């Protein structure tokens, strides 16, 4: 049984039909990527899964439970985490306090301490800047912090919304390396990306989203060779 199974969901913003029947699955231990043009509905899909939006039709199951309509703050306790688009760090809190907020839902002191170490190993820059107010971090550092904070919830499934947005190539590499590392340590990843080439090179499988519908789905390697994907998302002719 898949870890996450989405069945034909329809999500609306008022009258706007943003998701028109999306189905996808994520197996435990995988990296799955969701690619698509601007406005295709990638963010909407993640927000629906994580409980910030409720689908009008369709169902979502996670770890064998039906979680359709379960609010986001409850899903954290089922160890699902999301790094939102645009990072959303708590600008007025320090790096350390941001990470502490990440552990809000937990009370196993030792586990939290262990995860602190782990985050600082993954992102040594955060360790250096522990006392700095998050709002003054650079864009890349904020992305690391947002990812680290999600890690502090100790998730089994981690969803990331465009982690490479606005980052210099060096930092994009650093962030993607960290994602691969996180995955190796046993966390399943659902990755939304504009940077399709990067995403497909680390993912096992990929889905292509177009105006609220899934138009293609295959192994990452195969998608990379796909003519349509190459044309539309990899910028090749």
Partner 1 sequence: MFNTLQEKFPLIQKFALLGGIVAIYLTAVGVVITFSLRNLIGTFVSLGHVFLVLGAVGAGVLIAQQFKDEDDASTYVAGFLTGAMSSVSLILFNIVVQLFVVQASEEGVFHLREMFVNFSPDSLAFLTFGQGFLFGNVLLFFLFGLMGLLGVSFIRLPEKIRRGWINGLIWVFSVGLFSENVSQVIRELFKYSGTSFNKILFTQKALNPVAAIVLFALTFAFGYMGIKTATSQKWAAMPVEKQKTGRIVITVMAVIFVAALPWLVGLFLSQALFIIGMYVMMGLGLNIVVGYAGLLDLGYVAFFAFGAYTMGILTTTGVLGRSDLNFWTALPFAMLVGVLWGVLLGFPVLRMRGDYLAIVTLGFGEIIRILALSNWLAPLGGGAQGVLHIPQPEFFGLSMNSPQAMYYLVVLGAVLAAFVTIRLRDSRLGRQWMAMREDEDVAEAMGINLVQTKLLAFSIGAAFSALAGSIFAARLGNIFPHSFNILISINALALIIVGGLGSIPGVVVGAIILIGLPEMLREFAEYRLLMYGILLIIMMIVKPDGFMPEARRRQEIKDEKDFLTEQAAKSEG
Ligand X SMILES: Nc1ncnc2c1ncn2[C@@H]1O[C@H](COP(=O)(O)OP(=O)(O)OP(=O)(O)O)[C@@H](O)[C@H]1O
What CA–CA distance (Å, rounded) separates 196 from 178? 17
Smallest distance, Å, CB 174 to Mg ion?
A: 22
> What phi and psi, each to the nearest 5 degrees, are found at residue 169?
-50, -40
Q: Which of the choices partner 1, Mg ion, ligand X, none does residue 93 contact, using the CB cut-off of 5 to 8 A by kind?
A: partner 1
Give the footprint of ligand X on this chain (CB under 6 A). 13, 16, 18, 36, 38-44, 85, 194
Question: Six-digit token pair at 65?
Answer: 């439970």
Helices (H) and strands (E) in the chain, counts: 10, 10
Question: Taking CB under 8 A as the rule, does residue 71 contact partner 1?
Answer: yes
* Position among 11, 33, 43, 164 found at the interface with Mg ion (CB under 5 A): 43
- For position 163 contacting partner 1 by CB under 8 A, the verdict is no
Residue in 39, 65, 69, 88 binding partner 1, rule: CB under 8 A: 88
- Residue 158 interacts with which of Mg ion, ligand X, partner 1, none, CB < 5 to 8 Å by class: none
Please select the residue that binds partner 1; options are 2, 37, 93, 197, rule is CB under 8 A.
Answer: 93
Helix, strand, or coil here: 74?
A: helix
Pairwise CA distance, residues 28 & 25, whole Å: 10
Among 37, 112, 133, 216, binds partner 1 (CB under 8 A): 133
Judge residue 17's burial from the number of C-beta atoms within 10 Å of its C-beta, 0-12 exposed, 13-18 middle, 19 or more buried.
middle
Query: Is 76 a binder of partner 1 (CB under 8 A)?
Result: yes
d(Cα 22, Cα 211) in Å, to the nearest integer? 11
Partner interacting with residue 41 (select from partner 1, Mg ion, ligand X, none; CB below 5-8 Å by kind) = ligand X
């Amino acid at each position: 049984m898949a870890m996450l199974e989405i069945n034909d969901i329809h999500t609306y913003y008022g009258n706007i039909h943003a998701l028109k029947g999306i189905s996808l699955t994520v197996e435990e231990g995988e990296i799955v990527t969701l690619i698509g043009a601007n406005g295709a509905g990638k963010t909407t899909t993640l927000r629906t899964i994580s409980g910030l939006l409720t689908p009008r039709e369709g169902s979502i199951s996670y770890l064998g439970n039906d979680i359709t309509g379960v609010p986001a703050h409850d899903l954290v306790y089922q160890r699902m985490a999301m790094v939102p688009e645009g990072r959303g760090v708590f600008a007025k809190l320090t790096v350390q306090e941001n990470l502490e907020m990440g552990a809000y839902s937990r009370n196993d002191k030792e586990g939290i301490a262990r995860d602190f170490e782990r985050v600082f190993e993954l992102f040594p820059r955060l360790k250096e800047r522990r006392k700095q107010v998050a709002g003054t971090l650079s864009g890349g550092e904020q992305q690391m912090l947002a990812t680290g904070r999600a890690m502090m919830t100790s998730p089994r499934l981690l969803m990331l919304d465009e982690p490479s947005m606005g980052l210099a190539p060096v930092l994009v590499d650093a962030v993607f390396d960290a994602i691969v590392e996180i995955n190796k340590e046993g966390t399943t990843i659902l990755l939304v990306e504009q940077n399709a080439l990067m995403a497909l090179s680390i993912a096992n499988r990929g889905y292509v989203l177009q105006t609220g519908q899934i138009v293609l789905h295959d192994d990452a390697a195969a998608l990379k060779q796909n003519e349509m994907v190459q044309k539309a998302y990899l910028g090749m002719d």
